[in-house]
Structure 1
Amino acid sequence: MKKEQFEFNELPYPALARFGLTQEMIEDLPMRVLEEIGQGGYSPVLPVRVTDEKGEVIESRSRFAFIRMESGEVDVVFYPALKSSPLERYDEAQQKQLLDGKAIVADVEMADGRHSKAFVQIDEGTKQVMYVPTPIIASNLKVLSEVMHLGAVEVKGMQNGNLLTVVVDDEPVTVGIDLHNKTGIRFCPGDAQGWREQPKREWDKYTFGCYGCWVMDDEGNLDYVPEEEYTEELWNEQKKSAERNRAVGLHK
């Protein structure tokens, strides 16, 4: 399947702005995040704000991804955070695995209405249920098994949603199925606990951009503060960040 590429100058900023995500907020995301969404991947869970028919402002959180329409124009699809995951179609054992953060193989209804086997997983950030057809992940697992010399039992364990920790160059590396990843498989140096915590560790508490700062709270939620609303604490943190970056540059 062809992977779409989206350029900054064709992104639907007006559509994003209707949900409270300004162009400045998007451009202030870390470069690794911009590269990910520019390749058709999901955004982080970000704050969104909409006005309902009564004129009341509703605040929520959502991921988004860009899609290319038949006309060639780029549009945006939102994946809002839910209070709970819709798991009615799965049996009790499958629900337990999903709620434990594991991927399962189940029969799902595809976009075209057909039913097919797919890897299914809950997005921890939004509680949305994600799925990817099994042949895609199975093919990537086959390549992984050949590269890492894995046995059938180890591959089967990963297919059942288990994490696998192996030793590479005398250091532990953990690998498991993560449907947010481009390949559906994510690697992390360290043990299984480190693998589970890796997505949150990729963000600092303060991520400064050109126009403002993305701030992560103790629960992992991201919020944006434009420069004109900086507190004294944020100005101090920006100075510290600039000093650290300057020191890194001098030591290169």
Structure 2
Amino acid sequence: MKKEQFEFDELPFSTLERFGLTREMVEDLPMNVLDEICNGRHSPVLPVRVTDESGTQIESRTRFSFVRKDNGSVDVVFYPALKSSPLERYDEAQQKQLLDGKAIIADVELADGRKSKAFVQIDPGTKQVMYVPTPIIGRNLQVLSEELHLDATEVRSIQQGNLQTLVVDNDPVTVGIDLNAKTGIRLCPGDERKWREQSKREWDKYNFGCYGCWVMDDDGNLDYVPEEDYSEELWNEQKKSGERNRASALHK
């Protein structure tokens, strides 16, 4: 499937704002995240806020991605966080693997009604069920296996959703399927514990932008604090961040 490219100024900010995500909040996302969503990938799990028909404000969390409509304009698609994953179509053994965070190979129904084999995995951030056609992951895994000199047993184990820890240049590296990663496969320096921790710690605790700060709590949830609402703690953290950035620039 071809990935669309989006210019920042053509993004549907008015739609995002209806869900509580202002242009300033989006601009304050880290540059690598902005690059990702402008390249057609989904956002991190972010807080959203809507008002229902009775005027009640409802808060939730969701990922989003952009799509290009037939007329060339850009729209947004949301992937809301669910309380539980819809796994009815999978057998008991497959459900157990999915709930353990593993990827499985299963039949999925495509948009045109046809069925196809795909790697299936639960997005830990939203509990949505993700899938990618097997040829795509299979090709990427083949390229990786040639680079890392994986044998057939190791490749088959990764295809079955297991993690493989290898020694590369005398250091451990762990490989596994992660459908949230760009290639669907994620490498992490270290053992299996490090691999699992890496997916939960993509952000720093404090992520300062021009207008405010994205703060990550101990559970990995992101919330936005505009500058006018900074606490004394946040002002101190911003000062420390500025000092670290200046020191880093001086040593370049």
Q: If the TM-score is normalised by the length of the shorter chain, which range does it land in?
A: over 0.9
Which 4+ residue blocks in structure 1 deviate beyond 6 angstroms? none
Taking the aligned partners of 2:12 and 2:201, their CA distance within structure 1 comes to 29
Could you tell me how far 1:190 is from its partner in structure 2? 0.8
Taking the aligned partners of 1:70 and 1:11, their CA distance within structure 2 comes to 15
Counterpart residue number, 2:39:
39
Taking the aligned partners of 1:79 and 1:52, their CA distance within structure 2 comes to 18
Could you tell me how far 1:43 is from its partner in structure 2? 0.5
Could you tell me how far 1:32 is from its partner in structure 2? 1.0
Taking the aligned partners of 2:238 and 2:157, their CA distance within structure 1 comes to 45
Counterpart residue number, 1:80:
80
Which deviations, in whole Å up to 9, do the C-alpha atoms of 1:74-95 show, x marking residues without a partner?
1110000000000011011000
After superposition, residues 59-208 of structure 1 pair within 5 angstroms as: 59-208=59-208
Match of 1:88, SS? coil
Unmatched tracts of structure 2, length 5 or more: none
Taking the aligned partners of 2:86 and 2:155, their CA distance within structure 1 comes to 28
Taking the aligned partners of 2:243 and 2:13, their CA distance within structure 1 comes to 32
Unmatched tracts of structure 1, length 5 or more: none
Match of 1:198, SS? helix
Taking the aligned partners of 1:133 and 1:102, their CA distance within structure 2 comes to 16
Tell me whether 1:28 sits opposite 2:28 in the alignment: yes
Taking the aligned partners of 1:35 and 1:127, their CA distance within structure 2 comes to 24
Counterpart residue number, 1:213:
213
Could you tell me how far 1:202 is from its partner in structure 2? 2.3
Could you tell me how far 1:3 is from its partner in structure 2? 2.0
- 1:213 maps to amino acid: C
Taking the aligned partners of 1:38 and 1:164, their CA distance within structure 2 comes to 32
Could you tell me how far 1:112 is from its partner in structure 2? 1.6
Taking the aligned partners of 2:27 and 2:59, their CA distance within structure 1 comes to 21
Could you tell me how far 1:231 is from its partner in structure 2? 0.8
Which deviations, in whole Å up to 9, do the C-alpha atoms of 1:154-204 show, x marking residues without a partner?
111011000111111111111111111121111111111111111232211
Taking the aligned partners of 1:226 and 1:112, their CA distance within structure 2 comes to 44
- 2:68 maps to amino acid: R
Tell me whether 1:229 sits opposite 2:194 in the alignment: no
Match of 1:65, SS? strand
- 2:162 maps to amino acid: N
Instruction: Count matched residues.
Output: 252
Could you tell me how far 1:219 is from its partner in structure 2? 0.8
Counterpart residue number, 1:52:
52
Give the TM-score, by structure 1 length: 0.98
Percent identity, aligned pairs only, is: 78
Counterpart residue number, 1:243:
243
Could you tell me how far 1:53 is from its partner in structure 2? 0.9
Match of 1:15, SS? helix
Could you tell me how far 1:124 is from its partner in structure 2? 0.3
Give the TM-score, by structure 2 length: 0.98
Match of 1:136, SS? helix
Match of 1:188, SS? strand
